[in-house]
Amino acid sequence: MTDTIIKNINDLRAEIDEIDQQLQKLLNRRASCALEVAQAKMREIKDSPVQFYRPEREAQVLHNVMQRNQGPLANETVARLFREIMSACLALEKPMRIGFLGPEGTFTQEAAIKHFGHAVVTVPYASIDEVFREVEANAVNYGVVPVENSTEGVVNHTLDSFLDSGLKICGEVELRIHHHLLLPKGRNKDSVKRIYSHQQSFAQCRKWLDSNWPTVERVPVSSNAEAARLAALEDGTAAIAGDMAAELYKLDKLASNIEDNPSNTTRFLIIGLHAVPISGKDKTSILVSVRNQPGALYRVLEPFHRYGVSLNRIETRPAKVGTWAYVFFIDFEGHVDEVSLKPLFEILSQEVSDLRILGSYPKAVL
């Protein structure tokens, strides 16, 4: 390497060091501003709990970051960096507690960290019902639960939990799901007699397993994280799980990304106690009960077409009361506080026997 090249590299490294110093000063300046905002909120709001986390504000910041980004870092990469900056600044007062469908190492925990950043405290719960209960009891600030998978469809247990809950949907997370075949370090793959995983993961990897491990027993367990834990303990076993479980239980990847559908994605909901103001790019979820009469569902859906409101999803679930009675979960574009949606809600309230707004919230950014 010539002296000229070495000099150029040293100059570039000196410039990087200078930029790093500027970044550090600006990060601490941003953190100081965040602390001042928190203190101002506490002075202004004295008789009720202060909401330091604002989902709509965070979504706006991330959208702005991606819009003004000029590279070479990708938009999503820059947005993830800013997510962590906001998470760290918010935690200066007190880290938020986020409940999730456990145990440790699940995709739901990964979704919680993707949405809130690493500065939060994630708390595992054994069931979706328990996540709802603990959020309602204010034991955690927010909860994260799965609601649908692009391959396997809707998570009925989550939808049913809203029938008896007054919690609001405050946000959503979309997580690309990658499954890996995992083994403890040093274990011979020829010794594997059975594979542990969640039933849905077996379904999402069925073709790969049939082609590569057709004779090995497949044992369903409560979660992929539990599968990884068992594989780490028991001889003759492997697990199908994700990156977080592999890291937690120190397992090696015998095969990576074995899901049959490379676009396999799970959507998660953020649930909390408070409604979320307009962010500018929002989605609304409602629950409706219809009268048992001909054309009832048509009269529910027709106003969306009339007012040009884009529907994202509609799901049907049995009602808790009445024989052959059903409720409909509907997701659509927009926020309940938008003036343009007022006529839609006026007509819907006349056509249905019950209308509940589960939440208006920012659409997934990352």
Residue 337 φ then ψ, to 5°: -85, -5
Cβ density class 292-318: b for 16+ within 10 Å, e for less: eeeebeebbeebbeeeeeeeeeebebe
CA–CA distance, 238 with 259 (Å, rounded to integer): 16
Strand 237-241 versus strand 180-184 pairing type: antiparallel
Of 326, 329, 207, nearest in space to 267 by CA: 329
Domain range annotation of the chain: 3-90, 97-177+265-271, 183-255, 278-362
- What is the pLDDT of the chain when averaged over all its residues? 93
CATH fold of 3-90: Chorismate Mutase Domain, subunit A (1.20.59)
- Give tens-digit pLDDT for 315-336: 998 887 766 678 999 999 999 9
State the CATH class of domain 278-362.
Answer: alpha beta
| Residue range 95-110: mean pLDDT, rounded | 95
The pLDDT of residue 229 is above 70: yes
Residue 43: which pLDDT band, with cuts at 50, 70 and 90?
A: confident
What's the confidence (pLDDT) of residue 351? 87
Select from 3.40.190.10, 1.10.579.10, 3.40.50.1580, 2.30.30.140 the CATH code of 97-177+265-271: 3.40.190.10
What's the confidence (pLDDT) of residue 322? 67
CATH fold of 183-255: D-Maltodextrin-Binding Protein; domain 2 (3.40.190)
